[in-house]
Structure 1
């Protein structure tokens, strides 16, 4: 009985992942407004009841897409932060990896979608911010908090996220893609401007 239940749950999880992958492509390629549950169900194949048994609305499905992409993003971030204590070299590595993720991964089409359709569908803005930027800032904050006192850790995390997202926004409207050296120069300039040597570490 337990083996059958386990297999059933595994198949259910696989089907859910398949739905989320299809929906992710539809949202990014066609936009939130132009994507329908019926279109996703048609591509999924089989009974439309299958889709509705996993997700009761398009908004719920969008939240699952964002959560899935953010989880992939977060796993990569954790590998970058394999040393969970602050150092300037780890911060540099972190910033360069975040820029690569923000520009080159599936995060970029999703960001475009939220910016372009967020005014018409404010619910996707709330979901995207709660699951994406807010969680990312919280993780960066914990990284800074291993070395700096509050409110310095909070302010540093806000400045770093704002700078990197701003860099991504500039890249998206610039027809010339930044070279690796451009990214490195930006990150080195950012770290220098943070003036970390002038901030008292925690415990002092």
Structure 2
């Protein structure tokens, strides 16, 4: 959540009885997360310390510690902000939708667009490069990101297919799209890349299971 969105949200809740103190607390937390996100993505997880975050924010270090008890907590908040933005983009094409190939096509294209955002690529590279040294980094990323996304996609498939088929299709789709992303970020030249052609080819080659009898 950006500082601006946080401010708007809490200004609205203030009208319902939330005081200025709570508003200021939420704004400061959003500011910390925004600063920390930039530092993590630019410098990496290991190089970003609580002291460095506090120094960049300015003011008392006690303020940072009042909001977060550790670097892991700060990073989790950064992940949550990223995943919330990511999820809203995906939910726009999945929420309230019953499975259909055209709806899945739109979701896949939106998924690819989100994965290829600069912030998503930087986050992915950081987790891959530092995850072995910091297992908590990889665990936080997986539980707050991919698992949440898979749950949403599986729910979309489950509107038509049984649970086992829905989970199998989710695994197939996520593996194909994230594999496509990994291949693209390795390419020295992405000119001429056609996301729609990739998605259409993928969908054309899926052997769709039988829908549930009551679907």
Normalised by the length of structure 1, the TM-score is 0.93
How far residue 30 of structure 1 moved from its aligned partner, in angstroms, is 0.3
Query: Counterpart in 1 of 2:91?
Result: 78
How far residue 149 of structure 1 moved from its aligned partner, in angstroms, is 1.1
Deviations 1:26-66 (A, max 9, x none): 00100000111111111111111111100111011111111
Query: Counterpart in 1 of 2:158?
Result: 145
Give the counterpart of 1:118 among 131, 134, 137: 131
Query: Bigger relative contact order, structure 1 or 2, given CA contacts below 8 A and separation 6+?
Result: 1
Query: Counterpart in 2 of 1:201?
Result: 211
Q: Is the 8 A contact 1:70 1:131 kept in 2?
A: yes
SS of equivalent residue, structure 1 residue 73: helix
SS of equivalent residue, structure 2 residue 107: helix
**C-alpha distance 143-178 of structure 1, shift in aligned 2 (>3 A):** farther
SS of equivalent residue, structure 1 residue 106: helix
How far residue 203 of structure 1 moved from its aligned partner, in angstroms, is 2.3
Point out the more displaced range, 86-95 or 168-177.
168-177
SS of equivalent residue, structure 1 residue 11: helix
Structure 2 CA distance for aligned equivalents of residues 119 and 17 of structure 1: 29
Q: Point out 4+ residue stretches in structure 1 off by more than 4 angstroms.
A: 2-5
Structure 2 CA distance for aligned equivalents of residues 14 and 105 of structure 1: 25
- Calculate the aligned-residue CA RMSD, in Å: 1.6
1:16 aligns with 2:26: no
Query: Counterpart in 1 of 2:140?
Result: 127
**C-alpha distance 6-179 of structure 1, shift in aligned 2 (>3 A):** farther
Query: Counterpart in 1 of 2:106?
Result: 93
Q: Is the 8 A contact 1:171 1:178 kept in 2?
A: no
Query: Counterpart in 1 of 2:196?
Result: 184
Structure 2 unaligned residues grouped into runs of 5+: 1-13
Deviations 1:118-154 (A, max 9, x none): 0100100000000001111110000000011121111
Query: Counterpart in 2 of 1:52?
Result: 65
Structure 2 CA distance for aligned equivalents of residues 119 and 147 of structure 1: 39
Q: How many residues align?
A: 200
Q: Is the 8 A contact 2:97 2:103 kept in 1?
A: no
SS of equivalent residue, structure 1 residue 96: helix
Structure 1 CA distance for aligned equivalents of residues 185 and 164 of structure 2: 32
Structure 1 CA distance for aligned equivalents of residues 33 and 191 of structure 2: 31
1:165 aligns with 2:178: yes
